[in-house]
Every structure is written in structure tokens, then in C-alpha cells.
Amino acid sequence: MLFSLRNDLLHIGVVQRRGSEALIDQNHLARRRHPGSPRRVVEVPRDARHHWALPGGHVGHTLLGDVYGTGPEPDPSLEAAAVRVLARETTLTLTAADLHQVRAFGDADRDPRSGRTVSIAYLAVVGDDRDVARHPDDAVGHVSRVQFRPVVDLLARPSRLEFDHEDIVMAAIRLLRQLVLTTPLAARFCRDQFTLGELRRVYEVLFHESLDSAENAERPEHAGKVRAYLKRLEELEHTKAPELRNTIWRLAQMMPTDDQRRPDLLFDGQRLDLKLSRPTSQQLRRSSTLSSGGLASRGANPATPSDDNAMGSEFASSTTPEIAELWQRLARQSSTLRPPRTPRLVKRLDPTNFARKFQKLGILTPVEGSSRPTFDRYGKPAALFQLDSHREQTPFLLRLDFLETDDSTDA
């Protein structure tokens, strides 16, 4: 279970296996109401939009060689096996210290294939600056797609997690909630230095009612909002992103390599370098990623006509007509790629009480002389904190009772 906080929504990393059939529990609705009901896991035609599985694999051994991607050598521990399988299927590199064991899942009817499979589930927190990708090794490439998707979308129908992975997800969420109340794990969702408002948002997202059960996730005000948001992102990616990618490619080929007057392109707050004769494959992938931002010119917003005019007078007029036309086209296309507003599924906590209670735990240390702009408290810059390396292993109990608030101020 790879947990990540993206755009104020809890995401998990999931994969799709190669093949036309998926192993889906046909009795999952009855099990939601009566957990003791038997499973009925059968092979059904795979739905590319709705059938997902948690990343996983076999513990390494020498009996079958590498037939199931178990590696050439036995794994020295379960944690080592989990780290190896994770890197193979998602390209993410974690360590045993990043893993938290959920429990074992070994019901006889969880996997109808030959033999009996007992799975040991782990959870790990992945920062939003790290992403999963398809592993390039096609020799063991039984994974065709890897994504981070919102938990609400995966738990609500018609999404269906394979085998008993829905049970694993819910058990992992319960453990995650327990860990963030007794250990500093919540800070792993943030950057190394964070504001108390950013840390508070982690708790607001993790304890929202949409994550309490699969039934709550299916409620229209939860799943409906999230799926409308995802649908809009997919529409933008399929209709607009290819045009933008082509424009960036042509602009990069024509741009003078030594022109210092060229304005910088920013994507997700990072500079998109166009000094090369042509963009790299990584730059092209970033140009078509819509989930966390858009394309903008430093110091200007290409969404407004006045910005196009300003760009033309300051830069485009001093270049060739072809480059000027491409730059104007880039500004027009990027202005249509702004993603929709992210659904806000949060359990609001009182900012003042949360800050006071968390600072009393004694596990944070202020970063002297540093602050970060924030929309909280009238936009005043907020002080930055980091975990105290001498106290971060100290166990504690953070109670969120009486911290709920109706305050609608965004953090």
C-alpha cells in the first residue's frame, strides 16, 4: 500500500496486470455488510478503467527460478522481498525502514488459483514529488499500467480492486490513522520543512468520513465529486495535451540556443529548459501531465489576453515570426489546460488548537528565520518547522477530539 497526498486527496499506488481477465470478488457487496460472508473470486473480462490491484509479488526462492519474477536469489526477509517487488513493479526505491506491516491475509477463498496464497501487506508513505512508472523490464513485465489514484475512486463502484485488496486497503487506512496519532509519520506526507497548516491538512484529509468505509466512499458527495474531477483531467489530457506537446517540441527545435532574452517556461513551478535543440522525453512527459498544475510563463499568466500582448512586445517581436507565432500558440493552448478545481474532502480542524496541541508534543523544531506564504490566516507567511531528530522516535498520543471546526478558511 503506497499512500500519497495529492491535491488534498489521499491516493494509493495501484497496478493493472497484463492479460484480458481480472480476478474480481463477485460477492464483495455482501461482504461489506457481513464480513464473514464467503468470497467468490472469479475471472471476469478486464475493465481498463475500473479493475486495479495493489502492487505485490512472490517472496524470492530458488524452486521456480524467476518464473514469477522472484529474482535469482532467495530474499533474506519479508521486508527485503517487499522492497524488491516494489522496485520491480513501480520503479520506486524504498527501504525496509519505510515499511509498516499491516497484517497477514490468508483466507482460503481469496485466490482461486492453484495452491493457497498468504499475503503479508505493508504500507509506506510516498511524498508527492515521487511518482510511479511502468517498469521497463518486459521479461517480468506482467504489469501494464501503474498509477496513483484517489482512494475514494478505487473503493466506490464501479471500481473494483482484485482479490481481497479492498479489505487490505481498509486495514491499511486504519493502521495509517493509528500511526499518525502515535508517531510522526504524518510529516512524511509533507516536505522536509513544513508549516503547521500543511501538517494539519494531512490530518484533515486522513480522517475524512469518505475513508471510513467503502460505503461512505460511494456516497455521491464523495465519489461523484472525485470522479467528475478525474473525468475532466482525462478529457484535458486526451484532447489538449497532444497539441501542447507538439507546440513545445517545435518551439524547442527552433529556439536559438544562446538567446538570453528568452523567457523561462515554468511547469508545476519548475523551469522547463528549452535550450536544447529538442526537448527530452522527460520534458515531453511533463508537458502532458495535468494533475498538479499547468504551464505558465515566469512573471506572467498566459490565461489572459494582456499577457499574450506583453509577451509579444517583450520577446516575440525580437525573434523570428515563426518563433513568435509558436510562442503565442503556446500561451493560448496552455491557458486551456488549467485543471479543474480539486474536490475538497477534508475534516476541518481548528488551526489554533491543532498548532498548540502539536507543539506540546515536543517533536518539532522551528526553522529559524524561514517562512512560507500561505492562504491561511489572511495570507500571512507561516513559520516553518521540521522534525526534531532527537525526539522524533518518542511515542505520543495526539487526540483530535474537540478540534473540529466549521471554519471555511482554506489552509
Region 192-218+347-411: CATH code: 1.10.10.10
- Maximum CA extent, the chain: 73
Answer whether residue 282 shows pLDDT above 50.
Answer: no
pLDDT at 267: 44
Half-sphere exposure of 372 (CA within 13 A, CB side): 15
**Which residues, at least 6 apart from 290, have a Cβ–Cβ distance to it below 8 Å?**
233, 236, 237, 241, 337, 339
Residue type, 130: R
pLDDT tens for each residue of 67-115: 555 666 788 999 999 998 888 888 888 999 999 999 999 988 888 887 7
**Over the chain, what is the mean pLDDT?**
77
The domain spans of the chain are: 2-182, 192-218+347-411, 235-335
Q: Which residue is it, cell 533474506?
A: 76
pLDDT at 100: 97
CB 213 within 8 A of CB 306: no
pLDDT tens for each residue of 35-55: 788 888 999 999 988 899 999
Q: Which residue is it, cell 500582448?
A: 309
State percent of the chain over pLDDT 70: 67
- Start-to-end CA distance of the chain, whole Å, equals 27
Q: For the domain with range 2-182, which CATH number is right: 3.90.79.10, 1.10.238.10, 3.40.47.10, 3.40.50.620?
A: 3.90.79.10
Answer whether residue 408 shows pLDDT above 90.
Answer: no
Give residue 300's pLDDT band: very low, low, confident or very high (50, 70, 90).
very low
How far, in Å, CA of 59 to CA of 78, rounded?
7
**Which residues, at least 6 apart from 37, have a Cβ–Cβ distance to it below 8 Å?**
27, 30, 31
In DSSP notation, 273-340 reads ---SSS--HHHHHHHT--TT--EEETTB-TTSHHHHHHHHHHTGGGS-HHHHHHHHHHHHHHHT-PPP
pLDDT at 406: 58
Answer whether residue 175 shows pLDDT above 90.
Answer: yes
Q: Whole-prediction pTM value?
A: 0.75
Type and span of the H or E element at 358: helix 351-360
pLDDT tens for each residue of 226-263: 999 988 887 776 665 666 667 666 666 665 555 444 44
pLDDT tens for each residue of 121-133: 999 999 866 666 6
